Amino acid sequence: MAHLIFAPLLTELIERYPELRVEIESYIPGADQEPREDIDVFFKVKAPGDSMRRVRAYPAAKRGLFASKQYIKRFGLPSRPEELLAHTCIGSGAWRLSRGTTTAAPNIQFQVVTNDPTVLLKLVLRHSGIALLPLYMGKWPETGENLVQVLPHWSTQPLTLCALFSGQSRLTPKVQVLLDFLGEYIGTARDPRLHGANPKGLFTDFRPGTSSSKGHS
C-alpha cells in the first residue's frame, strides 16, 4: 500500500488538498489486530472478521501463479495443482485453487516463506520458483516478457483492499477526501500498480460505495 499506491499518488493528493497533512506508518499487523485509536485510517488487504471499525472496501486485485520462463524451461510447466508439490514454491499460507466446482489445496512446503509480493516477484524473476502474485505484477510491461502464468485456468481468492476507520465518530472531512481520492484510482485504469498495463481482468468489478458498519459477531 505504501510503496505501490501511496508513494505514486501523494504528490497529487497534496496538490489537490494543500492543507492536508499526511503521516504514513508502514507495518504488518496480525490478521485481525485492531488499529490504534490515534490512527485515522488503517488499510488491510482483507476486511477483519471481528471489528469495531467501519470498513470501506475497494476493488480486489486478482492473483495468479507465476514462474520465470527460464524456470519453466528447466523444470517444466505444471498442468494440475497437485504437480506443484514437485516444484520449488515460494510464498506463505495455503494456496487454495478453484476451477468451476473443483477446488484444490496442495500441501506445499515453501522453499522461501514470505508474504511480501515485491520480494516474491524479485525471487521469481531470479528463477527461484513459483509464486502467487497479483495479476498486475505478472502483466507489468517490464516483467511480463520474462514470466509465465502457471495453471492459468485455476483461480485463487483475490486480495480485497479495505480502509478501516473509527465507527464511534463521524466520517471526518480529511478521511472522506482521502478515501474518495483513492477511489478514483484503485481498481481503475489509473491505478498506479498497473505500471501502464491494461487493467482488464486484473481487478474485481466492485466499486466502493458508502461506508458500511461492522460490529462484533
Q: What is the pLDDT along the chain (217 residues), one digit of tens a residue?
A: 888 999 999 999 999 999 999 988 876 555 445 556 677 888 887 755 555 567 788 999 999 999 999 999 999 999 999 999 999 999 999 999 999 999 999 999 999 999 889 999 999 999 999 999 999 999 898 888 899 999 999 999 998 888 887 655 567 888 899 999 999 999 999 999 999 888 999 998 754 443 333 333 2
Q: Which domain holds residue 108?
A: 63-150
Question: Which sign does the torsion angle of CA 199, 40, 12, 142 carry?
Answer: negative
Residues 14 and 81 in one domain: no
- The residue behind cell 501463479 is 65
Q: What one-character DSSP code corresponds to residue 61? A: B
Residues forming beta bridges with residue 63, ordered by sequence position: 134
Give the global pTM: 0.82
Q: How many residues does the structure list for the chain?
A: 217
Task: Tell me the one-letter amino acid at 74.
Answer: R
CB contact at 8 A, 162 and 43: yes
Residues 176 and 102 in one domain: no
Residues 97 and 50 in one domain: no
Residues 141 and 72 in one domain: yes
Between CA 106 and CA 126 the distance in angstroms is 24
Nearest one of 160, 27, 150 to 95, comparing CA atoms: 150
Whether residue 57 is contained in a domain is answered as yes
CATH label of the domain that carries residue 9: 3.40.190.10
CB contact at 8 A, 137 and 121: yes
Whether residue 213 is contained in a domain is answered as no
How many distinct structural domains can be found in the chain? Answer: 2
Q: Strands, DSSP E only, in 51-176?
A: 53-57, 63-68, 89-91, 97-99, 102-104, 112-113, 130-134, 147-150, 162-166
- The residue behind cell 475497494 is 58
Residues 127 and 107 in one domain: yes
Residues 167 and 197 in one domain: yes
Residues 68 and 96 in one domain: yes
Residues 164 and 57 in one domain: yes
Whether residue 177 is contained in a domain is answered as yes
Residues 44 and 89 in one domain: no
